Structure 1
Amino acid sequence: MKPVRSLARAMLSGIFVVSGVRNFANPDRLVAAAQPVTERVTPLLERAHPRIPTDTETLVRANAVVQLGAGLMLATGKFTRPAALVLAGTLVPVTIAGHPFWTNDDPAMKANNQIHFLKNLGLFGGLLLAAADTEGKPGLRWRTGHRIGHSRRSVQRAVRTARREARIAVRSAATARRLPG
């Protein structure tokens, strides 16, 4: 199954790697579309840290770098689950800014944006699956529950052993008192 996973991850990450490179090299073409989203995000960024750049072009480039880096991690199989989550996170503002079909009056433009919106929604679903994929190995939740169950059984065994040894000690003491000495 590993070759299928590797191929699927490479295919899923391709769009992010290519668009990350393109958008970093040429952010100007996206600035106008990204402006409404960045205007809403800017106050949050300024509250988080006052020195974070908040101009739209820089935010577009930052998103491009994140998509490129996380896309490469997903494609190469390094930190695939966190990379998929990061890509899913970057896809939300990109989709809202880039394909707002609900604002289009032109039917052709509305249909085009609707198709791209749904395409991104499908990518989002694929990224969520990639983020949840444990490659057939137990996930953290299962391992934690298993470890807790194992610890609980160990404690129960220790308690039973201690009780048994205490009973034996009591019998030995009682036997020792009965013996003439």
Structure 2
Amino acid sequence: MKPVRSLARAMLSGIFVISGARNLANPDRLVSAAKPVTDRVTPLLERVHPRLPTDTETLVRANAVVQVGAGLMLATGRFSRPAALVLAGTLIPVTLAGHPFWKQDDPVARNNNQIHFLKNLGLFGGLLLAAADTEGKPGLRWRAGHRIGHSRRSVRRAVRTARREARLAVRSASTARRLPG
């Protein structure tokens, strides 16, 4: 199953690496579409840290860098689960800014944006699956629960053994007192 997972991760990440590199090289073409979304995010960024950049072009470039980096991580299988979550996070503002089909009056443009919106929604679903994929190995939650259960059983076993040994010690002590000696 490993070759299938590796191929699927590479295929899923390809769009992010390619479009991220394009957007990094030429962010100007996206600035006007991204401006309404970045204007909404700016107050949040200023509250988080006053020195964070808030201009639209810089935010488009930052999103592109994150997409290239996380896309490469997903493609290579390095930290693929967190990378998939990061890519899913970058997809939300990109989809809202780039494909607002509900605002389109032209039926052709509306249809085109709706198709791209749904495509991105499908990518989002694939990224969520990639983020949840443990590659057939138990997840952290299961492993932690399993460890806790194992520890509880070990403690119960130790308590039973200690009780048994205490009963044996009491019996042998009482037997020793009854013997003439």
So what's the TM-score if we normalise by structure 2?
0.99
d(CA) in 2 for partners of 1:113, 1:10: 25
Q: Unpaired runs of 5+ in structure 1? A: none
1:100 corresponding residue in structure 2: 100
Q: Deviations over 1:5-62 (max 9, x none)?
A: 1100000000000011000000000000000100110000000001001000000000
So what's the TM-score if we normalise by structure 1?
0.99
2:66 corresponding residue in structure 1: 66
Q: Which runs of 4+ in 1 moved over 4 A?
A: none
Pairwise CA distance, 1:70: 0.2
- Give identity over the alignment, percent: 87
2:81 corresponding residue in structure 1: 81
1:122 aligns to 2:122 (yes or no):
yes
Secondary structure in 2 matching 1:20: helix
1:166 corresponding residue in structure 2: 166
1:132 aligns to 2:132 (yes or no):
yes
d(CA) in 2 for partners of 1:179, 1:61: 91
d(CA) in 2 for partners of 1:45, 1:168: 69
d(CA) in 1 for partners of 2:91, 2:136: 27
Pairwise CA distance, 1:172: 1.1
Q: How does 1:148-163 map to 2 (within 5 A)?
A: 148-163=148-163
Pairwise CA distance, 1:176: 1.2
Pairwise CA distance, 1:180: 1.6
Counterpart amino acid of 2:86?
V
Q: Unpaired runs of 5+ in structure 2? A: none
1:52 corresponding residue in structure 2: 52
Pairwise CA distance, 1:92: 0.4
